[in-house]
Amino acid sequence: MSKRSFASDNNAGVHPEMIEAIRAANDGHVVAYGDDPFTERAVKVFQKHFGKDIAVYFVFGGTGANVLGLKAMTNSYEAVVCAETAHINVDECGAPEKFAGCKLLSLRTPDGKLRVEQIKPLLHGVGFEHHVQPRVISVSQATEMGTVYTKNEFKTLARFAHDNNMLLHVDGARIANAVASLNANLKEITVDAGVDVLSFGGAKNGMMYGEAVVFFNQQLGENFKYIRKQGMHLPSKMRFISAQFEALLSGDLWRRSATHANRMARVLASELEKVPAIKLTQPVEANGVFAVIPEKHVEALQKKYFFYVWNEETSECRFMASFDTTEEDIKDFVALVRKIVK
């Protein structure tokens, strides 16, 4: 068996219950492209969580979910406001600019979270034809820095967006981790808080692949079936994404896996914190731990348990826990840290 690491929740394998869902769906023929009973049931499960008034579309991956969701929300002369650390800003190779076809306005944050006060100055050019028009606030939940917006923070952002003819988009690649962290349900921190469009993450929560674009503002989703196909994200064998979502969301698997990953991150953080030469840089609110590790020790540690250096300048490193991280992984890694980092 190959070893586990703290590199990414995407480096984990597929949850056995997802493999079982795929296996069980692999029987006979059904109509391709989503007109099948698996997809019908999966959509109903989304409706059970979020209410009936949603439009939900399955896509292959998270970048596609973000880019196509944003495409449905913007014109080319409009802009998406996001944190500098947002996946759409740093990890999508310019896909939002190319395929959504609009400008990103990124703002520096200490913790990956946008605040209304920072966004206000961007609105001075509203109505002025020489400036792009801010149309969407896009936030990540949980953030790329392992922090989590509270329900009230979302409500404040949504109210501000809507008062200013803007929309609130959520990159929910780790929405399950955020909801588990807040001890909330999916509906209260999304549609009830005023979110318009959500990229709902599957892969980091144990699926093999597959994400969903969920429109709470259904009008925005009116043409999404065309946008998805033109955007090359209409899966022909949709049933295998749908079957996974049904299995993930019809019981508590999504919450179980996320709660576990979050707990593993907290355990890791509390152990790292005890090492005087290591400094945590962010509160651990989801499944990520950020810590400055003395540069001279990084390579030796990475050899046994790989993790990424997040900031080369400061030697801040990122450790991600997943559904399959074990207490033994942490004990073993921490023992190594204690031996090496003095």
Of 85, 140, 282, 325, the residue at the interface with ligand PLP (CB under 6 A) is 140
196 scored as a contact of ligand PLP (CB under 6 A): no
From 57-65, 240-248, 284-292, 302-310, give the range in contact with ligand PLP by CB under 6 A: 57-65
Number of residues that bind ligand PLP (CB under 6 A): 11
Question: What single DSSP character describes residue 115?
Answer: -
Please provide the distance, in angstroms rounded to a whole number, between the alpha carbons at the two ends of the chain: 31
For the bound state, the minimum distance from the C-beta of residue 60 to ligand PLP, rounded and expressed in Å, comes to 8
User: Residue 219: which of 187, 197, 189 has the closest Cα?
Assistant: 197
HSE value, Cβ hemisphere, 13 Å, CA-based, for 23: 7
10 touching ligand PLP, by CB under 6 A: yes
Q: Which of 102, 174, 168, 113 is nearest to 142 (CA)?
A: 174
Structure tokens at 288: 């990520």
CB of 120 to ligand PLP, least distance (A): 25
Pairing label, strands 316-320, 308-311: antiparallel
* 314 near ligand PLP (CB under 6 A): no
Binding of ligand PLP at residue 71 (CB under 6 A)? no
Q: In the beta sheet, which residues pair with residue 279?
A: 292
**Could you say whether residue 169 binds ligand PLP (CB under 6 A)?**
no
Is residue 144 at the binding interface for ligand PLP, with CB under 6 A as the rule?
A: yes
Residue 298 beta carbon to ligand PLP: minimum distance, rounded to whole angstroms: 21
How far is 158 from 168, CA to CA, in rounded Å?
6
Q: Across the strands, what pairs with 254?
A: none
Judged by CB, which is closer to ligand PLP: 153, or 171?
171
Segment interacting with ligand PLP (CB under 6 A) among 59-67, 251-259, 260-268, 299-307: 59-67
* By the rule CB under 6 A, 285 interacts with ligand PLP: no
Nearer of residues 63 and 181 to ligand PLP, judged by Cβ: 63
User: Which parts of 127-282 are beta strand (E)?
Assistant: 133-140, 167-172, 197-200, 211-215, 279-280
Binding region for ligand PLP (CB under 6 A): 10, 61-63, 66, 87, 140, 144, 171, 173, 203
